């Protein structure tokens, strides 16, 4: 971050605090996760607390906060339910609100020289004035074939997008110290679990996060994102079908969907067709990936989001795509505190992918 350049000191990509709560503000809920180290010398984590707090309908639309009061109140309720003393949080912006670019620069530059070069590069591809954006960068690695050069990731977002999220948490009494990007938060969780896939980073992995209104696909190869795409499809379609089929209000339909208290024909006449349509949408995302890149194969699909908890959905997607499909559980290798109910967190885990990745920022190198 360029010190003193912006209205507040906030990093997209750098860690600033040793203790954070990960907060994911989605279109349907606010999700919070707090982690700790399982031991002083351990590389493993323990889940201390988590909470999912429903959000008023249409308070967040297309990733943008349109009802600040409703979002702030939901954040405040979530934090009180969480029961944490930590008031420092890590938030994330949707990928659609962030412009990213990788550049190659000479290694060993002074920070102010590197900042100047990043700003010049950014001015060439950001379609609005730099004084209207928050801009940050991170050195990723030295080039294997040329150690005198390094690869740098630049991230930029309109100030209003960042400030809205910061203001919502501030109004709720919390201080934002890290602003991440959603796909990078989910990638952090993947890094914990990549060893379970034969071939490791050489595999092509598609993380498909199925939220209430948007299905977000992020394809990784060698631990780096090579493709991202959002599709307007999600769990709200299932709620709408329940509403249409059983003559319930949308609110009643949402509650019935979550509780499973629906007539016997729900599974065959509503849920099964929805899952088949969802699998078709995943297949479409994969086909777009193949036609947009040089890749011709995906080795694994990892599904996340609220819809991922639907029993058997992974098998339906695998059958449609002919790709091994797994439900994401970001906590599968973590210890659980005594206040966590294992059965409940296993059910909620796919929805907590981004919040978990944000909570892990507590343990980034300072």
Q: What is the pLDDT of residues 261-291, one digit of tens each?
A: 899 999 999 999 999 999 999 999 999 999 9
**Segment 255-259 mean pLDDT:** 87
**Segment 284-304 mean pLDDT:** 96
Is 11 a member of any domain?
no
Domain CATH number, residue 225 = 3.30.420.40
Is 265 a member of any domain?
no
Residues spanned by the domain of 80: 21-235+275-363
* Three-state secondary-structure class, residue 219: strand
For residue 65, the model assigns a pLDDT of: 94
Residue 194, pLDDT > 90, answer no
**Segment 105-111 mean pLDDT:** 85
Are residues 60 and 31 in contact, defined by beta-carbon separation less than 8 angstroms?
no
Q: What angle do CA 305, 59, 250 make, to 5 degrees?
A: 70
Q: Which of 327, 307, 352 is nearest to 50 (CA)?
A: 352
For residue 200, the model assigns a pLDDT of: 67
Residue 141, pLDDT > 90, answer no
Is 42 a member of any domain?
yes
For residue 16, the model assigns a pLDDT of: 44
For residue 144, the model assigns a pLDDT of: 81
Average pLDDT for the chain: 88
For the beta carbon of residue 338, count every other beta carbon within 10 angstroms.
4
Residue 113, pLDDT > 90, answer no
Helix, strand, coil percentages, rounded to 5, for the chain: 40, 30, 30
Residue 35, pLDDT > 90, answer yes
330 φ, ψ (degrees, to nearest 5)? -65, -15
The tokens for 63 are 């990733």
Q: Given the structure tokens 């294992």, which residue do they identify? A: 342
* Three-state secondary-structure class, residue 13: coil
Are residues 300 and 326 in contact, defined by beta-carbon separation less than 8 angstroms?
yes
Residue 88, pLDDT > 80, answer yes
Residues 6+ apart with CB under 8 A from 113: none
For residue 219, the model assigns a pLDDT of: 95
For residue 6, the model assigns a pLDDT of: 34
Is 111 a member of any domain?
yes
Residue 67 C-beta-side C-alpha neighbours within 13 Å: 15
Is 55 a member of any domain?
yes
Residue 238, pLDDT > 80, answer yes
- Taking the model in full, what pTM does it have? 0.89
For the beta carbon of residue 73, count every other beta carbon within 10 angstroms.
19
Residue percentage of the chain with pLDDT more than 70: 93
Residue 49, pLDDT > 90, answer yes
Residue 201, pLDDT > 80, answer no
Is 313 a member of any domain?
yes
Are residues 236 and 214 in contact, defined by beta-carbon separation less than 8 angstroms?
no
Beta-sheet pairing, 204-210 with 300-304: parallel
First-to-last alpha carbon distance for the chain, in angstroms, is 14
Instruction: Tell which wins on pLDDT, 21 or 127.
Output: 21
Per the structure, how many domains does the chain have?
1
Q: How confident is the model at residue 5 (pLDDT cuts 50, 70, 90)?
A: very low
Is 359 a member of any domain?
yes
Is 255 a member of any domain?
no
**Segment 309-321 mean pLDDT:** 96
Q: How confident is the model at residue 9 (pLDDT cuts 50, 70, 90)?
A: very low
Residues 6+ apart with CB under 8 A from 339: 48, 49
For residue 67, the model assigns a pLDDT of: 96
Q: In what order do the strands lie in the sheet with 146-158?
A: 99-106, 146-158, 133-143
CA separation for the pair 304, 328 (Å, rounded): 5
For residue 1, the model assigns a pLDDT of: 33
For the beta carbon of residue 360, count every other beta carbon within 10 angstroms.
22
For residue 112, the model assigns a pLDDT of: 86
CA separation for the pair 46, 296 (Å, rounded): 38
């Amino acid at each position: 971050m360029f010190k003193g350049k912006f209205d507040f000191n906030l990093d997209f990509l750098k860690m600033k605090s040793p203790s954070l709560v990960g907060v994911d503000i989605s279109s349907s809920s606010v999700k919070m996760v707090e982690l700790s180290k399982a031991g002083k010398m351990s590389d493993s984590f323990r889940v201390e607390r988590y909470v999912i707090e429903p959000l008023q309908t249409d308070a967040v639309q297309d990733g943008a906060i349109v009802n600040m009061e409703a979002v702030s109140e939901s954040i405040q309720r979530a934090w009180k339910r969480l029961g944490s003393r930590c008031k420092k949080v890590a938030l994330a912006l949707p990928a659609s609100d962030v412009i990213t670019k990788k550049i190659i620069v000479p290694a060993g530059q002074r920070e102010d020289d590197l900042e100047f070069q990043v700003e010049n590069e950014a001015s060439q591809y950001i379609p609005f004035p730099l004084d209207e954006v928050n801009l940050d960068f991170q050195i990723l690695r030295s080039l294997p074939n040329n150690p005198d050069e390094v690869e740098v990731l630049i991230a930029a977002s309109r100030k209003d997008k960042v400030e809205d999220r910061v203001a919502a948490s501030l109004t709720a009494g919390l201080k934002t110290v890290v602003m991440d990007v959603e796909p990078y938060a989910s990638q952090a969780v993947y890094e914990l679990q990549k060893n379970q896939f034969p071939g490791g980073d050489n595999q092509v992995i598609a993380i498909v996060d199925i939220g209430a209104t948007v299905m977000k696909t992020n394809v990784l190869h060698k631990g780096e994102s090579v493709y991202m795409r959002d599709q307007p499809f999600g769990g709200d379609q299932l709620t709408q079908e329940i509403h249409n089929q059983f003559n319930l209000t949308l609110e009643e339909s949402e509650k019935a969907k979550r509780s499973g208290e629906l007539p016997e024909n729900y599974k065959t006449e509503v849920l099964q067709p929805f899952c088949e349509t969802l699998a078709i949408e995943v297949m479409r995302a994969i086909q777009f990936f193949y036609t947009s890149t040089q890749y011709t194969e995906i080795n694994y699909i990892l599904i996340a989001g609220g819809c991922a908890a639907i029993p058997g959905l992974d098998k339906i997607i695998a059958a449609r795509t002919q790709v091994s499909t797994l439900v994401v559980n970001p906590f599968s290798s973590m210890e659980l505190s005594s206040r966590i109910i294992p059965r409940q967190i296993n059910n909620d885990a796919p929805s907590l992918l981004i919040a978990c990745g944000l909570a892990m920022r507590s343990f980034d190198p300072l």
